[in-house]
Amino acid sequence: MAPSLSVQIKELRVSEVKRQFTRLVRGNNLSDTLKKLKITAVDRTEDSLEGCLDCLLQALAQNNMETSEKIQGSGILQLFASLLIPQSSCTAKVANIIAEVAKNEFMRTPCVDAGLISPLVHLLNSKDQEVLLQTGRALGNICYDSHSLQAQLINMGVIPTLVKLLGIHCQNTALTEMCLVAFGNLAELESSKEQFASTNIAEELVKLFKKQIEHDKREMIFEVLAPLAENDAIKLQLVEAGLVECLLEIVQQRVDSDKEDDIAELKTASDLMVLLLLGDESMQKLFEGGKGNVFQRVLSWIPSNNHQLQLAGALAIANFARNDGNCIHMVDNGIVEKLMDLLDRHVEDGNVTVQHAALSALRNLAIPVVNKAKMLSAGVTEAVLKFLKSEMPPVQFKLLGTLRMLIDAQAEAAEQLGKNVKLVERLVEWCEAKDHAGVMGESNRLLSALIRHSKSKDVIKTIVQSGGIKHLVTMATSEHVIMQNEALVALALIAALELSTAEKDLESAKLVQILHRLLADERSAPEIKYNSMVLICALMGSESLHKEVQDLSFLDVVSKLRSHENKSVAQQASLTEQRLSVES
């Protein structure tokens, strides 16, 4: 028969009273322990001391926060610094207590104020594995989430000490994990990279990585490797230690798996591989003149059906394509066709990151002069133009950069593209993409490049009809000298080849006023002043623009430039002054 409600309530009250009594007894015991600890800490009676420490650890295990508050209130923390001595049998327990109380955020500053960091750091030289483990935990918890305290540890030289410990105690799982957690936290700080680079951390981590079978353990090492691999010196050390071979093996083992952990590990391994290639020395070492095993394996990722591998493969090629020799070798050995095939698979509803990576690779490959004609005849322009309808700014940006690289000094290709109305209209549209400065800048630069490299009247007409002139005039006021200069050269060609067609647009864009401002501004670079004067002379062929030049008293500004320190500017000023005087 079920007990009545009153009986149930009575039982609840009894259990509550019992709980309160236990808490009271525990509280009294804790207070007694703390008082006793103060005495024994001074006397250094090992047995009594150990008993007190055991009581504290037990209390912390039952209620960490409440016990920590009492420890803080008792002033016992200050005594702990004197107890952290290598030869004492109680040292590991003291460090353990510090590690436990420092789990609470409110206890970290009191631990620092009690002067515990310095004696804990000294204990990292202990040979006792339990002392090392608890010391590492204590330092980790005190400095958790505090860049200033972590920087203090770095300055105290903990990094070489911890790397040494990892090598000595690699069989001790708990100690190894403690070292990895510490490395993961410290590696986030830029100031740590130099210290890590001066140790054999790469060798130790790769050695440890090779032994790991469990996914979780490898993941811990990955979390340390990723921030460390941002440093170029460590990148090279990791490559020399054989990390790449480990990563390639993981990729091979996981590529066909549909398990979540395996997919995640495949991504981590291939991403880290790409990161290693960002260093010039490590990249060149792995390229091995295009004959290296690593380069060949990466090539095989591009035709893969796995999007992550396609992405990593394209990014790796983009990184290998950071010097002309590599670019020329890769183009001669058919990489362009592989990248175009990859892009072709991602035209309709494709993977944006893969599109972006493949276009990045093509852009870099198009930089050497000897590659441009080869890539144009391979049909790269047509492959790239398929993405003209993309609404993704990263893809737009790389598409524009690739086209600009391809037409550099390629008159025929520049003319063909410049007469492509769809392309030019899209460029004019993107020139107004104020939310995406990169896309806007590249659109302007490509517009200018089409004119500069084609020197074609038909191209100029297409750009005028599409409303592109105002953007070239605005580009002449850019904060970047290279863009200003490209705009002025393109505008000078327009004025020389097709002034009557562009006249109204140049007038409404207030080109003459802008040129006056550029010439009068002392901060304008010499090449900007020079090209502005060349453009002024070319504009004199238009009656309405000529009148604007006269109204703005250009003669005063130009005559001052005859004494300019740059000889080319001074000579052009004399010529322009003569032209203006004759035409006035």
pLDDT surpasses 60 at 67: yes
| pLDDT confidence of residue 42 | 59
Q: According to the model, what pLDDT value does residue 39 have?
A: 61
Q: Long-range CB contacts (< 8 A, 24+ apart) of 430-437?
A: 430/396, 430/400, 431/468, 431/471, 432/471, 433/393, 433/396, 436/393, 436/396, 436/397
Determine contact, residues 574/552, Cβ cutoff 8 Å: no
pLDDT category of residue 551 using cuts at 50, 70 and 90:
confident
Residue 151 has pLDDT above 60, yes or no: yes
Angstrom distance (rounded) from CA 571 to CA 577: 10
Query: Can you give the pLDDT at residue 291?
Result: 87
Contact 71, 63 (CB under 8 A): no
Confidence at 293, pLDDT banded by 50, 70, 90:
confident
Long-range contacts of 122-128 (CB under 8 A, 24+ apart): 122/84, 122/86, 123/84, 123/86, 123/91, 123/95, 124/158, 124/161, 124/162, 124/165, 125/86, 125/161, 126/86, 126/91, 128/86, 128/91, 128/92
| Cα 10 versus chain centre, distance | 64
Nearest CA-CA partner of 419 in 466, 360, 366, 484: 466
Confidence check: pLDDT of 108 > 60: yes
Three-state secondary-structure class, residue 279:
coil
pLDDT beyond 60 at 26: no
| 3-state DSSP of 373-410 | HHHHHCCHHHHHHCCCCCCCHHHHHHHHHHHHHHHCCC
What pLDDT score does 435 carry? 87
Q: Which of 161, 189, 166, 164 is nearest to 178 (CA)?
A: 166
Does 346 or 16 have the greater pLDDT score? 346
Burial of 242 (0-12, 13-18, 19+ CB in 10 A): middle
Place of tokens 């009557």: 500
Confidence band for 52, pLDDT divided at 50, 70 and 90:
confident
When pLDDT is cut at 50, 70 and 90, the band that residue 47 belongs to is low
Largest CA distance in the chain: 121
- Given a contact cutoff of 8 angstroms between Cβ atoms, the answer to whether 530 and 505 are in contact is no
Question: Is the pLDDT assigned to residue 252 strictly greater than 60?
Answer: yes
Residue 43 neighbours by CB under 8 Å, 6+ apart: none
Rounded to the nearest 5°, which phi and psi values hold at 157?
80, 30
For residue 134, which of 168, 175, 166 has the smallest C-alpha distance? 175
- Tell me how far apart the alpha carbons of residues 362 and 428 are, in angstroms, rounded to a whole number: 23
- Nearest CA to 320 out of 282, 356, 348, 352 is that of 282
With CA atoms as reference, report the closest residue to 378 among 315, 330, 411.
330
- Among 254-258, 271-275, 393-397, the range scoring the smallest mean pLDDT is 254-258
Terminal-residue alpha carbon distance, the chain: 118
Q: What tokens were used for 351?
A: 């993977």
Q: How high is the mean pLDDT of the chain?
A: 89
What pLDDT digit, counting tens, does each position of 192-225 carry? 999 999 999 999 999 999 988 888 889 999 999 9
Rounded CA gap, 488 and 477, in Å?
10
pLDDT of residue 15: 46
Identify the pLDDT of residue 18.
Answer: 36
